[in-house]
Amino acid sequence: MLAYLFAQRHIELEGKHILHFSPEPNLFRRLKNEPHYISGDIKKNKYAAYEVDVTRIPYPDNTFDVIICNHVMEHVQDHMTGFSECLRVLKPDGAAFFSVPYYPEKEETWYPPADMPEAEIDKLCGLGHRRLYGRDFTNIVASAGFEVEPCLLSAEEAAIFRTDMNDPIFIARKLAIR
């Protein structure tokens, strides 16, 4: 819900081609009647009408105006392929909204050693999470080709959205070639 409210303040969603990964129930209910809304996840479920793997998005280049990827990329083993795929299917001048568990005390994202057991990774990162994102998250997303702007909620927005969430939402834009 927070991603939707935030997106509404930063981009018009009505009539847009929207790809929403692992849709949250409240946000799904608000967007499901948009004619060009695709809700997808690694497996179809009550809120994900389509099977869509973020690392192999089955849509042509330049299909979507908006991508919403709220707390997904921390679960993706090959997150760089996921970011590149999002860029590929995003239209020029389109916007992707990424949020992840964010650890601003970490200068760099922590990646577990290749030989670390799954149970230990889950204990350190959270169930199913593959890494701990640090302050370099903007650079990670930008390295896929996006122009990235981290946006923290203001005190006023936090009150409006009724949250104390301090994780930034990263607005990643695919710039049009001019």
Provide the pLDDT for residue 13.
81
Q: What is the reported pTM?
A: 0.90
Per-residue pLDDT of the chain (178 residues; tens, 9 = 90+): 456 566 666 667 888 999 999 998 888 888 899 999 999 999 999 999 999 999 999 999 999 999 999 899 999 999 999 999 999 999 999 999 999 999 999 999 999 999 999 999 999 999 999 999 999 999 999 999 999 998 876 677 666 655 555 678 899 999 887 5
Q: How does DSSP assign 45-105, residue by residue?
A: -SS--EE-BTTB--S-TT-EEEEEEES-GGG-TTHHHHHHHHHHHEEEEEEEEEE--B-TT
CA atoms within 13 A on the CB side of 35: 2
47: left (phi over 0), alpha (psi -120 to 50) or beta: alpha
In this prediction, residue 8 carries a pLDDT of: 62
Of 177, 17, 160, 41, whose CA–CA distance to 95 is shortest? 17
- Give the span between the Cα atoms of 166 and 50, in whole angstroms: 31
- pLDDT of 96 reads 95
Residue-wise DSSP of 108-149: S-B---TT--HHHHHHHH-TT---BB-TTHHHHHHTTT-EEE
Burial of 101 from C-beta contacts in 10 A (0-12 / 13-18 / 19+): middle
pLDDT of amino acid 156: 73
Which pLDDT score, from 0 to 100, does residue 161 have?
Answer: 57
Taken in order of first residue, the domains within the chain and their CATH numbers are: 2-173 (3.40.50.150)
